[in-house]
Structure 1
Amino acid sequence: MPRPKQGPRLASSPAHERLMLANMSTSLFMHGRITTTLQKAKCLRPVAERLITFAKRGDLHSRRRVMRVIRNKSIVHLLFTQIAEQMEQREGGYTRIVRIPARHGDNAPQAVIELVTEPVSAKQATVKEAEAATKVAAKDEAAEVADATEAAIVEGAADDAVNEAVDANETDTDVADADKAAVDLEKDAKSADEAADQAEEDADEAEDAESADTKAEK
């Protein structure tokens, strides 16, 4: 038979040991404390605290994991509703082992393993509240930064649109002014041509009149 790595086995087989620890965990959650040998208490402690950790999560998967060990549904309900609520402020150390005098007869070392139901100290509670407030403030600040960034992006896009519209309007105005100036120049050029033609006609008429006067004198 293979030897366990963590000290001697508590029962004749691993399956027997698992059932023994499951029964002891059920008794611990039912009564809040049990008296056993020191070695059994040390082996029970990590099992019980792991079950409490599952209970603090509170989801369906965790409940099914606990039901694999504890088959009593009323104890599971007690663990998830009352014990998990009592351990909510704790990050660990859900159980306490207190040594008591040795057992009569075989002189085996005994101990009492119990749930730590005392509230967290005021200092630790203040630290937890401060950490929670810091996390909430960080989330709010991140949300505000995101909103401000989005607003800046929207505002920048609006400014770009306005600038493009102004540029377009200015361009259209310039084009209209240029067209108007071209029309005016064309009109001025046409008037100048008409004036030149009229001046040339006047000069021809004057020359013809002068020639006629010269012939009459002869």
Structure 2
Amino acid sequence: MSRTFVVTGAGSGIGAVLARRLLGRGDRLVLIARDAARGDALRAELPGSSMIVADLADPDALADAVAVADLPDAVDGIVHAAGVVELGTVEQLPVSAWTAQLAVNLVAPAELTRLLLPRVRAARGQVLFVNSGAGLTAHPEWSAYAASKHGLRALADALRGEEAAHGVRVTSVYPGRTATPMQEKVHEQEGAAYDPSRFIDAESVAAAVLAALDATPDATLTDITVRPGPR
């Protein structure tokens, strides 16, 4: 049976792979596009998808964007797969690096979830956060990104307890380093050569996300850690 999923970050990396998998099996997608031009590009890449035009870097604008979007009364799941990263030591990182990562990686998922919760409750659906290994352990030069992802874990844990009575399931997926354009950008910031063969394939993370989304109603996969296999 076809289901409806709202997906952020569908233009690249894990989100793009997941969106193609969901669309390919007949599910309905509602995607977040930062502007109209990006929405047109996503429709071309993922035909049949609907759009919420909103920039996750500006969480205050999400309420108006959701209000004018063509959304069904029931949403089976929200998948938060968008994210930004800027590395640097605490000494080096400007306030803008902190606010940008917290806005996109934490505040926007919280606000989008809040706005869509009535529809998710109506479907007794699911909220899934694509977190990161940085949401479990913070390493040098990853302070702002890790703080946003630690916060995302706290959001998921609190939401799970709050929404259990409404039949809403909440899952966090923690991928290790994954071969995506974001990982390539990380390597540029680290000054290291990028070899995608060393990292998890985005398809593998998408498979873990699908396993959580497709779990039978009697079970919740609350936390899934995906690590690179032996090389």
Q: Same fold (TM over 0.5)?
A: no
TM-score of the aligned structures, taking structure 1 as reference length: 0.25
Q: Which has the higher contact order (CA 8 A, sep 6+)?
A: 2
The structure with the larger Rg is: 1
More strand by share: 2
TM-score of the aligned structures, taking structure 2 as reference length: 0.24
More helix by share: 1
